[in-house]
Amino acid sequence: MNAITESEFNFPGQLSVYHGKVRDVYTLKNDLVVMVASDRISAFDHVLPKGIPFKGQVLNQVATMFLDATKDIVPNWLLATPDPSVAVGLACEPIRVEMVIRGYLAGHAAREYAAGKRMICGVEMPEGLKENDRFPEPIITPASKAEEGHDEDISREEIIQKDLVPEAIYLQMENYTRALFQRGTEIAAQRGLILVDTKYEFGLLNDKVILIDEIHTPDSSRYFYSDGYHERQIKGEPQKQLSKEFVRQWLMENGFQGLEGQTMPDMPDEFVQTITDRYIELYERISGNTFVKAETSDIVNRIQSNVDNYLNKL
């Protein structure tokens, strides 16, 4: 199976390109962007050495589904998906704060809690919780978006004090975040899943807050299986989950957490296949549809042709 790990496209009207950890964003004339979801995978803010076949397609199609399912809550950037791995949308000015919302004590929050901390991003976490317990109410734990390296935890008060975002806009982002998380929770529940935590990114278009990037994908979100959740919590067993967390766990087991002096372990082909299978499984669970694999014999030419055809019709 082939995977796309690099892209250097030249689309009609192209002005610039930004290569992110996973997505490559091409800015065009007429305030359009083409976002290519590559098959790269990142963890601990490092891109892993091998691409994951069909991962970009899964991300793009899950994000498209949820953007369509939430556009009554908040306007979003998406216009079209001319290729299974590509989205075309409106160019927005990104807001440099990432909105993270957590319904359960998992991942980063659980690691902070285990270290004895009870405050995260200015939000107090109650005593007496164990890993993967549900919070009484979802908590918002923002992160400041770094140009390079790690995003950093930040509180609402610091965001407003540092004028990273005007207070009125930040409060609007908080309201959108809670409403989006509620909608995502409801859709996941219909599919036998629990939306544990996720992140949203927003931008400004003509001074209006717009939802951008991806939402509710396995890269931006953590899902547990609802069946057996309570029993596993009572027994103190790990939760069965669909997310990227198992990749982080594998890296930690192999001595890598993105810290200075650590070496990225080599990924066996069998593990790469496991990651592909898990991404496809999440797509099928969350969408209720069978995953249809796109043609991968020449991914680059497929994308170029599909996007050119779409843009030339505008």
Largest separation between any pair of C-alpha atoms in the chain: 59
Rounded to a whole number, what is the distance in angstroms from the first to the last CA of the chain? 33
DSSP state of 146: P
- Alpha helices for the chain (secondary structure H): 55-70, 107-114, 156-161, 167-190, 229-235, 245-253, 269-287, 299-312
Helices (H) and strands (E) in the chain, counts: 8, 18
What are the tokens at 108? Answer: 């980063």
DSSP-derived 3-state class of residue 76 = strand
The residue with greater pLDDT, 170 or 245, is 170
What is the length of the chain? Answer: 314
Q: How far apart are CA 34 and CA 17, in angstroms?
A: 9
pLDDT digits (tens, 9 = 90+) for 252-270: 999 999 999 999 999 999 9
Beta bridge partners of 208: 205
pLDDT at 243: 78
pLDDT at 282: 87
**pLDDT band with cut points at 50, 70 and 90 for residue 219:** confident
| CA nearest to 99, candidates 222, 227, 202, 243 | 202
Q: How far apart are CA 213 and CA 257, in angstroms?
A: 25
Q: What is the mean pLDDT of the chain?
A: 94
Task: For residue 241, give the amino acid letter.
Answer: Q
Helix crossing, 55-70 with 167-190: angle to 10°?
A: 110
What are the tokens at 246? Answer: 């198992």
Residue 107 pLDDT exceeds 60: yes
- Proportion of the chain in helix, strand, coil states, percent, rounded to 5: 35, 25, 40
pLDDT at 149: 54
pLDDT at 41: 94
DSSP state of 257: S
Residues 9, 1 contacting (CB under 8 angstroms): no
**pLDDT band with cut points at 50, 70 and 90 for residue 192:** very high
Pairing of strands 152-153, 119-120: unpaired
Exposed/middle/buried for 266, CB within 10 Å: 0-12, 13-18, 19+?
Answer: exposed
Percent of the chain with pLDDT over 90: 90
The residue with greater pLDDT, 246 or 127, is 127
Residues 26, 36 contacting (CB under 8 angstroms): yes
pLDDT at 150: 59
Q: How far apart are CA 31 and CA 89, in angstroms?
A: 9
**pLDDT band with cut points at 50, 70 and 90 for residue 250:** very high
Q: Rounded mean pLDDT of 21-28?
A: 95
pLDDT at 148: 56
Percent of the chain with pLDDT over 70: 98
* Pick from 50-64, 99-113, 138-152: least confident: 138-152
pTM for the full predicted model = 0.91
What are the tokens at 237? Answer: 């067993």
pLDDT at 237: 97
The residue with greater pLDDT, 193 or 146, is 193
For the chain, the structural domain boundaries read: 94-245
Q: How far apart are CA 275 and CA 55, in angstroms?
A: 8
pLDDT at 146: 65
- Fold (CATH) for 94-245: D-amino Acid Aminotransferase; Chain A, domain 1 (3.30.470)
pLDDT at 245: 79
Residue 314 pLDDT exceeds 60: yes
Task: For residue 81, give the amino acid letter.
Answer: T
Q: Give per-residue burial for 50-84: e unless 16+ CB within 10 Å, then b.
A: bbbbbbbbbbbbbbbbbbebbeeebebbbeebbbb
